[in-house]
């Protein structure tokens, strides 16, 4: 739980352009993890889950900022 809270705090402190860059990096990391799993590599399902949650967190923060104006 501590890791998640630190990650959320880090994402909240980022500027919107930096957060969008982080989102792109997370999406590419997710693609690589899924690709490795599909080609018979050792897919780390926990890592995939963490990356997906971080993508959702980043999108949520960006949307919240968009609504707030």
Fold of 2-68: Helix Hairpins (1.10.287)
Provide the whole-model pTM.
Answer: 0.83
Other Cβ atoms less than 10 A from the Cβ of 13: the count is 9
Asked whether the predicted pLDDT for residue 52 surpasses 90, the reply is yes
How does residue 1 score in pLDDT terms, banded at 50, 70 and 90? very low
The model's pLDDT over 7-43, given as tens digits with 9 standing for 90+, comes to 788 888 889 999 999 999 999 999 999 998 878 776 6
pLDDT at 4: 66
Contact 22, 64 (CB under 8 A): no
CA angle 8, 10, 7 (to 5 degrees): 45
Which sequence spans correspond to the domains of the chain? 2-68
């Amino acid at each position: 739980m501590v890791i998640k809270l630190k990650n959320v705090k880090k994402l909240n402190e980022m500027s919107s352009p930096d957060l969008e860059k982080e989102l792109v990096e997370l999406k590419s990391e997710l693609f690589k993890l899924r690709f490795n799993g599909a080609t018979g590599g050792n897919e780390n399902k926990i890592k995939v889950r963490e990356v997906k949650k971080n993508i959702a967190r980043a999108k949520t923060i960006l949307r919240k900022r968009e609504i707030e104006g």
